[in-house]
Amino acid sequence: MEVFMWIVQLMASTCRVSTPLLFAAMGGMMSERSGVVNIALEGLMLLGAFVAAAATDFTHSPVLGAFAAFMAGLIFSIFYAFFVIEIGSDQIVAGTAMNMLALGLTPFFSKILYGSSTSTPSLPIEFRFQYAPVWIAFGVVVLCWVWIVKTPFGLWVQFAGEHPEALDCAGVCVKRVRWMAVLVGGGLAGLGGASLSIFLSSSFSRNMTAGRGFMALAALIFGKWKPIPAALACLLFGFSDAIQIRLQSVVLWGNEPVPVQFIQILPYFVTILVLAGFVGQARAPQALGIPFVK
């Protein structure tokens, strides 16, 4: 019975810690299926986390906080989309710059608003989400699947990523499709950040995403850019994170607990192993990373 409870708890906590990854991976999928690499996921999440914490602190409503995070991700993506779609900047370089910008802007505004550049004030439990984001995250995965496989707009997005010239011939504006996909993707990544700061913890703290944006990207690649497999990959990373928390202070051999540092690196290690070992012949969208020039 005890083992059973332990497993149930582990599963529940896996779902909880996977939530930010699920949102971010779906956001990344939108943008990458349309042909735009999105390294900026990390920065979008960080910004979303900060905006959600600040907006919730201001309005006392987590729903408004999450909405603000969505909008923040969307607005931040406008800059990114402008640079990579309109100007044709290198997408990895511009994405890295966006990450740095988020890393600098969040403490900058935190300092202005709260006088501290390390964290925002802690939110009481009634201003935070309890379980809702988990369900919303799974809902978003299903929606993304329906959207990309079953709707005309999803088909446009796929064509924008696979063969933009064909889409152009069909009379659809490739750039507009990419714009839409990147903006919505940015909003979703913002929601992912929000679920970190107003769901999994009680405030925003400096660089709190700690590589989750990149893990979401890895999950996306592992899931071969498909919504359901990518979501499963997120759950795998979430599982390694959940087990990491439980393994701390557990004695595996000898009489000393395993050093906490070894356990903390587990999710990162799993990410590398998964990418190196199991991806196989993943085929990225054909036109991924190539600016469309008419």
Q: Which of 87, 125, 170, 250 binds other proteins (CB under 8 A)?
A: 87
Distance between CA atoms of residues 231 and 243, nearest Å: 18
Least distance in angstroms from the C-beta of 112 to other proteins: 5
108 binds other proteins (CB under 8 A): yes
Q: Which of 61, 117, 130, 151 binds other proteins (CB under 8 A)?
A: 117
Least distance in angstroms from the C-beta of 116 to other proteins: 10
Phi–psi pair at 205, nearest 5 degrees = -130, 155
Nearer to other proteins, 129 or 222 (CB): 222
Which residue stretch of 5-13, 62-70, 122-130, 275-283 sits at the interface with other proteins (rule: CB under 8 A)?
275-283
Which residue stretch of 7-15, 17-25, 92-100, 134-142 sits at the interface with other proteins (rule: CB under 8 A)?
92-100
Least distance in angstroms from the C-beta of 44 to other proteins: 14
Which residue stretch of 2-10, 66-74, 99-107, 186-194 sits at the interface with other proteins (rule: CB under 8 A)?
99-107
Nearer to other proteins, 136 or 217 (CB): 217
Q: Which residues contact 69 (CB under 8 A, 6 or more apart)?
A: 47, 48, 49, 51, 52, 55, 190, 191, 193, 194
The CA–CA distances, whole Å, from 208 to 114, 241, 293 equal 17, 15, 37
Phi–psi pair at 39, nearest 5 degrees = -70, -20
103 binds other proteins (CB under 8 A): yes
Taking Cα atoms as reference points, which of 19, 63, 27 lies closest to residue 43?
Answer: 27
Which residue stretch of 93-101, 165-173, 178-186, 228-236 sits at the interface with other proteins (rule: CB under 8 A)?
93-101
Least distance in angstroms from the C-beta of 280 to other proteins: 9
DSSP codes joined into one string, 74-121: HHHHHHHHIIIIII---HHHHHHHHHHHHHHHHHHHHHHHHS-SSBPP
Cβ proximity of 194 and 128 under 8 Å: no
Cβ proximity of 247 and 258 under 8 Å: yes
Residue 291: HSE in the Cβ half-sphere, 13 Å Cα cutoff = 16
Q: Which of 8, 58, 104, 143 binds other proteins (CB under 8 A)?
A: 104
262 binds other proteins (CB under 8 A): yes
Nearer to other proteins, 30 or 66 (CB): 30
Least distance in angstroms from the C-beta of 292 to other proteins: 10
Handedness of CA 159, 160, 164, 168 (dihedral sign): positive
182 binds other proteins (CB under 8 A): no
Read off the amino acid at residue 26: M
Read off the amino acid at residue 161: G
- # residues contacting other proteins (CB under 8 A): 51
Where would I find the beta strands (DSSP E) of 113-156?
none
277 binds other proteins (CB under 8 A): yes
The CA–CA distances, whole Å, from 111 to 60, 179, 261 equal 20, 32, 30
Residue 205, SS3 per DSSP: strand
Nearer to other proteins, 14 or 38 (CB): 38
Point out which residues bind other proteins (CB under 8 A).
32, 37, 39, 83, 87-94, 96-101, 103-105, 107-108, 111-112, 117, 210-211, 214, 217-218, 221, 259, 261-262, 264-265, 268-269, 271-272, 275-277, 279, 284, 288-291, 293
